[in-house]
Amino acid sequence: MESRDEIKVSLMTKRNQMKGKITRTTGFQDFKDRVFVLTRDKLSYYEGNLSKRGKLKGEILLASVKVAEKVDDGSLPKDNCFQVCYEDSLNLYIMANDAKEQEEWVSLMQEACKNNRGLLPMFHCGVWQGSRWSCCEQVDKNAPGCKQAFSQRSPTDMTNGKSTTNNGPPTPRNITKMPLPPPPVPAHAKRELPAPPPAKVVVAVYDYDPSQPGDLQLKKGEEYTITDDSRTHWWKALNREGTQGFIPSNYVQEKTEKGLIGEGWYCKDMSRQRAEALLKSEDKEGCFLVRDSTASPGTLTVSVLCKTPQTTVRHYHIKQNPRDSKYFLSEKYTFPTIPELIHYHQHNGGGLVTRLRSPPAALTGYAPVTLGFSQDKWEIQSTELTLMKPLGSGQFGVVRLGKLQGRTLVAVKTMREGSMCEDDFIQEAKTMTKLQHPNLVQLYGVSFKDRPIQIVTEYMCNGNLSSYLRSKGRELAEDRSPLVDMCHQVCCGMEYLERNKFIHRDLAARNCLVGEHNIVKVSDFGLARYVLDDEYTSSTGSKFPIKWASPEVLEFSRFSSKSDIWAFGILMWEVFTLGKTPYPNLNTTDVVRQVTHGKHLDRPQRCPHAVYRIMKQCWEKDPLRRPTFKELQVQIEDIQEKDYCE
């Protein structure tokens, strides 16, 4: 039975895919009949037949399709074959029952995938014969295709496998030979794709220079219409000139009725701690910003730095008069829009502790840096990398500063051979590139065609948090808010991992990195699983991070988000001791004894009681009694300046 969102259903023959394996035999030796089902976002195939569909055997996300074309090869046991290439070099060959069915499927697939990112310009219309392509005699399986793909052809060329030989522009001589448009698809097959959701308008919050063909340039403050937001991180957008392309979704914000996006002083997702830390680091009287209030969602807060009699940050809610909907900070001065209100207070104190002057220059540093590259791209070629100075070395090998594609600064971790379980990691890396959060070090991709493997991540100019605290700690500790802010940032990154059911397993200050303006990001998440060194993985090993391990990890190697919570408590302790090693005078046996007997680290000298209370919750012996990162996030947000003096 076809359901409403099924565009086409056919019983056809599929070749065994032998994913990733190169077969020595030639041709199509393994075929199965499957029920193929095309929906708006997937091509799925099932066991069974048209009247009784069996088990789901596989599915391909249409967004991952790179080629959908006919196959034209005399060596095939059946005619009417077409191919779907998807993800990274996976090929599905399907044999339709007749030419009409083949035509319909290719046409529908091309229509459904025509806006895909990563469509290949060329394809092979033959098959790989074990040592060469039957269509072009090339002997490299990965050799680029020899025929222009549908993405490059004009609509009138589309779907007609044979017509692709006629790629030149129409001239008087060949115009009569121009292929006819595809035959009309019968009504039952040509079910219209559901209409896309209504377009939304966004404003660019940061400039973006395209890094891949098909990307669209963003100019801060300009408006764009989103035409496809079905993927999380890359949206398709139209600019004012009508050019369409992909943009990173976290570089834009939806236009709000308040019309604040693009204002230099507005920062949507900023915690009070971050605002205080930023304003204090700028250290200028009247330095201010406007943010969404964490305490009362839906309202906005103006945070402003005042230096007399002593340096403090004051927070004012922007209120709205219920009678005329006008905005105000002080009831005497009301304004129809927030920009007008801010403009007024930039020129008059109007009851505030100080006149608003300018937003912190560092506000742009709050940008979520880059969001990586196209969602599909995670395999990086070593030729795309230029290696520069060493940044440090660790468990797996040396980390160097590098440039990707000659323009983006990155960190490149060259894995010492034998230090990690490479195949498993490569599989996992693809998933890890999709973990994206402003407080996680972005994994851009992995270069693994040549050995040694290289892991390419976002570059963080201030190195690891532990060393940073030791060198810059005194400066930071003059006021406690940067320290609370750092803990809050790590907590936000960890809350994202917790939400995505991803366990870090080695959270510690040494595995967090610091960027500009004290931005802290969690790094090396999940890597511990692929380490091959027993000294590191076994809880009795000399390199095992015992001082960050919870009792259930020490006793049963039971890792969970709750064991990450324990480690987070230790990390908070590291932050408030400005980078001291926990349990400074204890050897590992004593640490284990102390932890299993429920004795905790003492409160660091400069640690407010409110912060120490949070640490202690992380060190509950029973993992179930420990809070979640979500809960901790709220608690840290609740810490007020007055708590520092407790």
User: Does the protein bind ligand ADP through residue 393 (CB under 6 A)?
Assistant: yes
Residues that bind ligand ADP (rule: CB under 6 A) add up to a total of 19
Q: How far is the CB of 385 from ligand ADP (least distance, A)?
A: 14
Report yes or no: 164 and 126 within 8 Å, Cβ to Cβ: no
Number of H helices, E strands in the chain: 12, 27
Q: What angle do CA 112, 115, 117 make, to 5 degrees?
A: 120
**Among 205, 460, 546, 595, which residue sits at the site for ligand ADP (rule: CB under 6 A)?**
460
User: Does the protein bind ligand ADP through residue 506 (CB under 6 A)?
Assistant: no
**Among 39, 80, 91, 395, which residue sits at the site for ligand ADP (rule: CB under 6 A)?**
395
User: Does the protein bind ligand ADP through residue 403 (CB under 6 A)?
Assistant: no
Q: Is the dihedral of CA 234, 238, 241, 243 positive or negative?
A: positive
User: Does the protein bind ligand ADP through residue 463 (CB under 6 A)?
Assistant: yes
The CA distance from 487 to 534, in Å, is 31
Residues 6+ apart with CB under 8 A from 495: 628, 629, 630, 632, 633
For residue 316, give the nearest of 304, 308, 332 by alpha carbon. 304
Pick 396 or 644: Cβ nearer ligand ADP = 396
**Among 10, 249, 447, 464, which residue sits at the site for ligand ADP (rule: CB under 6 A)?**
464
User: Does the protein bind ligand ADP through residue 350 (CB under 6 A)?
Assistant: no
Looking at 9-17, 46-54, 339-347, 452-460, which segment touches ligand ADP (CB under 6 A)?
A: 452-460
User: Does the protein bind ligand ADP through residue 303 (CB under 6 A)?
Assistant: no
**Per-residue contact string for residues 411-440; x = within reach of ligand ADP by CB under 6 A:** x-----------------------------
Looking at 115-123, 319-327, 376-384, 454-462, which segment touches ligand ADP (CB under 6 A)?
A: 454-462
Question: Before 169, cis peptide (omega within 30)?
Answer: no
Cβ-closest residue to ligand ADP?
394
Q: Phi and psi dihedrals of 150, rounded to 5? A: -60, -30
β-bridge mates for residue 83, sequence order: 69, 93
Looking at 31-39, 149-157, 275-283, 453-461, which segment touches ligand ADP (CB under 6 A)?
A: 453-461
Site for ligand ADP in 234-273 (CB under 6 A): none
Site for ligand ADP in 116-135 (CB under 6 A): none
User: Does the protein bind ligand ADP through residue 553 (CB under 6 A)?
Assistant: no
Pick 167 or 393: Cβ nearer ligand ADP = 393
For residue 154, give the nearest of 114, 112, 192 by alpha carbon. 114
Q: How far is the CB of 88 from ligand ADP (least distance, A)?
A: 24
The CA distance from 91 to 469, in Å, is 50
How far, in Å, are 5, 7, 29, 163, 346 from residue 14 at the CA level? 23, 19, 11, 25, 69
For residue 539, give the nearest of 569, 505, 512 by alpha carbon. 505
Pick 181 or 392: Cβ nearer ligand ADP = 392
Residue with tokens 């790629």: 167
Q: How far is the CB of 212 from ligand ADP (least distance, A)?
A: 22
Q: How far is the CB of 451 from ligand ADP (least distance, A)?
A: 17
The CA distance from 57 to 35, in Å, is 10
Q: How far is the CB of 460 from ligand ADP (least distance, A)?
A: 4
Angle between helices 561-576 and 609-618 in degrees, nearest 10 = 150
**Among 214, 262, 394, 627, which residue sits at the site for ligand ADP (rule: CB under 6 A)?**
394
506 annotated active-site: yes
Pick 13 or 395: Cβ nearer ligand ADP = 395
Tokens of 354: 């100080």
**Helix or strand run (H / E) with residue 253:** strand 252-254
Pick 103 or 506: Cβ nearer ligand ADP = 506
**Among 275, 399, 420, 491, which residue sits at the site for ligand ADP (rule: CB under 6 A)?**
399
Pick 215 or 524: Cβ nearer ligand ADP = 524
Residues 6+ apart with CB under 8 A from 321: 327, 328, 331, 334
Q: How far is the CB of 391 from ligand ADP (least distance, A)?
A: 4
Biggest alpha carbon–alpha carbon distance for the chain:
90
Annotated binding-site residue? 413: yes
**Per-residue contact string for residues 507-546; x = within reach of ligand ADP by CB under 6 A:** ---x--x----------x----------------------
CB burial class (10 A; 0-12, 13-18, 19+) of residue 179? middle
**Among 459, 566, 583, 619, which residue sits at the site for ligand ADP (rule: CB under 6 A)?**
459
Q: How far is the CB of 222 from ligand ADP (least distance, A)?
A: 31
The CA distance from 390 to 554, in Å, is 34
**Among 39, 273, 447, 457, which residue sits at the site for ligand ADP (rule: CB under 6 A)?**
457
How far, in Å, are 90, 371, 435, 481, 490 from residue 636 at the CA level? 47, 26, 24, 11, 11
Pick 457 or 577: Cβ nearer ligand ADP = 457
Please tell me which residue in 157, 376, 506, 524 is annotated as part of the active site.
506
**Among 237, 391, 476, 509, which residue sits at the site for ligand ADP (rule: CB under 6 A)?**
391
The CA distance from 443 to 542, in Å, is 28
Dump strand ranges (E) for 65-140.
65-70, 81-86, 90-95, 122-123
Q: What is the DSSP string of 340-384?
A: HHHHHHHH--TTSSS------GGGGGGS-----S-TT--B--GGG
Q: How far is the CB of 530 from ligand ADP (least distance, A)?
A: 11
User: Does the protein bind ligand ADP through residue 443 (CB under 6 A)?
Assistant: no
User: Does the protein bind ligand ADP through residue 102 (CB under 6 A)?
Assistant: no
For residue 435, give the nearest of 493, 393, 353 by alpha carbon. 493
User: Does the protein bind ligand ADP through residue 392 (CB under 6 A)?
Assistant: yes
Pick 81 or 391: Cβ nearer ligand ADP = 391
- Residue ranges for the known binding site for ATP are 413
Residues tagged active-site: 506
Residues near ligand ADP (CB under 6 A) are 391-397, 399, 411, 441, 457-460, 463-464, 510, 513, 524
From the annotation, which residues make up the binding site?
413
